[in-house]
Amino acid sequence: LSDVNSGATMLLGPVLDSLRAAIILKNLHSLHIRMKQHSTNAYYLAEHLQEIGCRIHYPGLPSHPQHALMARLMHPQYGYGGMLTLDVGDEKTANQLMAIMQTEKVGYLAVSLGYFKTLFSSPGRSTSSEIPEAERETMGMSAGLIRFSVGLDNNIPRTFERIVKCLKVVGVVSENVMIG
């Protein structure tokens, strides 16, 4: 392990090994295509999940408090990004839902961003766990918040159907919710 808090690493930042640098360089030429697909898919999921009554946070939705700001700042070709959150209310439901979504092949339970597959995690229990609970609540980060890094799914309506099926299992949406 390296000490990243002092010395050259602190001043200059860490350096990639040559293999990882070459892989990144090789994949940069298609980044714009992937970002468009991430954004298109995230918008689809956010819009449709909100339509069935889910609590969604996504800057592409007009209901988002910073939608107008994001609309001014974003590049119109690349949309509003591939990240969204779904608030299912409590930690137990969030954990059950994520396990079921992984089983149903919605994506993977992982603390990461920007993979070609959809990833999801509970930020309050992973990446933001060092923030005191009271402060997380003030920020609107409930224990039931699930962060999605939406993947490059070629059939996003099918992914949406799988998510709805999982939401029904854990009781977040009614069995009567119709899709399609």
- Domains by residue range for the chain, with CATH: 31-169 (3.90.1150.10)
Identify the sign of the CA torsion 65, 67, 68, 74: positive
- The pTM for the full model equals 0.84
Its sign, for the CA torsion 84, 88, 90, 91, is negative
Q: In sequence order, what are the beta bridge partners of 109?
A: 120
Residues 6+ apart with CB under 8 A from 23: none
Residue 130: pLDDT band with limits 50, 70, 90: low
Is-contact 164 177, C-beta < 8 A? yes
Distance CA 35, CA 150 (A): 10
For the segment 38-45, the average pLDDT, to the nearest whole number, is: 97
pLDDT the model gives residue 180 = 64
Whether residue 79 contacts residue 93, with contact meaning beta carbons closer than 8 Å, is answered with: no
Query: Is residue 10 scored above 70 in pLDDT?
Result: no
Rg (CA), the chain: 18
- What pLDDT digit, counting tens, does each position of 77-127 carry? 999 999 999 999 999 999 999 999 999 999 999 887 778 999 999 875 666
Tokens of 76: 């119109």
CA angle 52, 70, 26 (to 5 degrees): 95
Compute the C-alpha angle 69/137/41, nearest 5°.
45
Instruction: Kindly report the backbone phi and psi dihedral angles of residue 121, in degrees, each rounded to the nearest multiple of 5, phi listed first.
Output: -160, 170
What is the per-residue pLDDT for 12? 73
What is the DSSP pairing of strand 119-121 with strand 145-149? Answer: antiparallel
Q: pLDDT-derived band of residue 1, with 50, 70 and 90 as boundaries?
A: low
> What's the CA gap between 59 and 80, in Å, rounded?
6
Q: Output 33 or 132, whichever has higher pLDDT.
A: 33
